[in-house]
Copies of this chain bind each other. A is one copy, B any other.
């Protein structure tokens, strides 16, 4: 049986998702065969070319049209954040399963509406998932598993940073990601969202309060048109501290100004019985310290997460043959298709996405209020 997919958007995320849709069934046993039915983009010529390149059969230029198609059972939303809510809600109401890229929405309000729609749809057997792909780096999934097994005990510390450097140059142009209307926020929503999700996923716990600060180092940039300059209206960097409901302390940082750090995601979790550390620059590794080891031989273990015993790894290559960035999307699709077939609710859910949004919102409010502590609603 097939699962007809319609995807909205065909830029960076569209390419990544397409590779995942094409690949999932080649390495994993799927209960449903994905049918890459339709790609939706505003301009028909561009969309057609993208569809050919990415492997989609048909093309639509209006996403509303997509929702009427019988050959589409799942809508994959890869458009920018400002249209997530509208498309996802409509798709769910049309009875389509939805995979929505992160951040779930640009505002808490939109995110709440999406969660409500997801809950209504769930009753009708319609599934929804938000695309925090880094959860499905095998090393990260393994980290979660080890926490669940109690291997690090009670979590005391979380340290999470997401560092990039693509706009260190003050003459980098004012692209849409630097405009609040389109992007919602800057580093905070774009990459900070990922580390908030990672931290909550791996610990299995939720942030209850934060205090933070944000900064825009370069306040004006050349317009992409090449003529004149315009104001940067999002944050270049965001830092915040937080507390988890289980008592752990956390620090987070997201920045686009960390010269030399291209896409470095680091997460360290210290517990009463052990510790875990992950660095996306070595994405096939997980560092694990077992507090129970003899002092003579205790040390962080560099686990190369490519064994059959590890999450997802067995489906790919023999031990020691590493995976890359795009595999995270394939794993996402595999889990989603399996859940859809099994009538199970995929994770991360829209509610998980809302929780991340609430954290980001609290950070924004804290930063605006002189770093005042802000509680996060449960």
Contact with B along A209-253 (1 / 0, CB 8 A): 001110101000000000000000000010111010001010101
Q: By the criterion of a CB under 8 Å from any partner CB, how many residues of chain A are at the interface?
A: 100
- The count of identical subunits is 4
**Contact between A326 and B317 (Cβ–Cβ < 8 Å)?**
yes
How far apart sit A143 and B318, CA to CA, in the bound complex (Å)?
26
**Contact between B217 and A247 (Cβ–Cβ < 8 Å)?**
yes
Is A262 an interface position by the 8 A CB rule?
yes
Given known contacts A299-B301, A371-B241, is B260 in contact with A270 (CB within 8 Å)?
Answer: yes
Contact with B along A266-297 (1 / 0, CB 8 A): 00001111110000111111101111011111
Partner of A241, one of B53, B239, B257, B271: B239
Shortest beta-carbon distance from A239 to chain B in Å = 5
Is A44 an interface position by the 8 A CB rule?
no
Given known contacts A18-B26, A241-B239, A283-B322, is B296 in contact with A257 (CB within 8 Å)?
Answer: no
**Contact between A26 and B12 (Cβ–Cβ < 8 Å)?**
no
Residues of B within 8 Å of A323, CB to CB, are: 324-325
Closest-by-CB residue of B relative to A309 is B295
Residues of B within 8 Å of A259, CB to CB, are: 152, 156, 270-275, 289, 291
Residues of B within 8 Å of A296, CB to CB, are: 142, 145-146, 303, 307, 309-310
Is A300 an interface position by the 8 A CB rule?
yes
How far apart sit A19 and B323, CA to CA, in the bound complex (Å)?
13
How far apart sit A327 and B316, CA to CA, in the bound complex (Å)?
13
Partner of A322, one of B157, B301, B325: B325
Shortest beta-carbon distance from A142 to chain B in Å = 7
Contact with B along A343-378 (1 / 0, CB 8 A): 000000000000000000000000000111100000
Is A306 an interface position by the 8 A CB rule?
yes
Residues of B within 8 Å of A257, CB to CB, are: 156-157, 270, 272
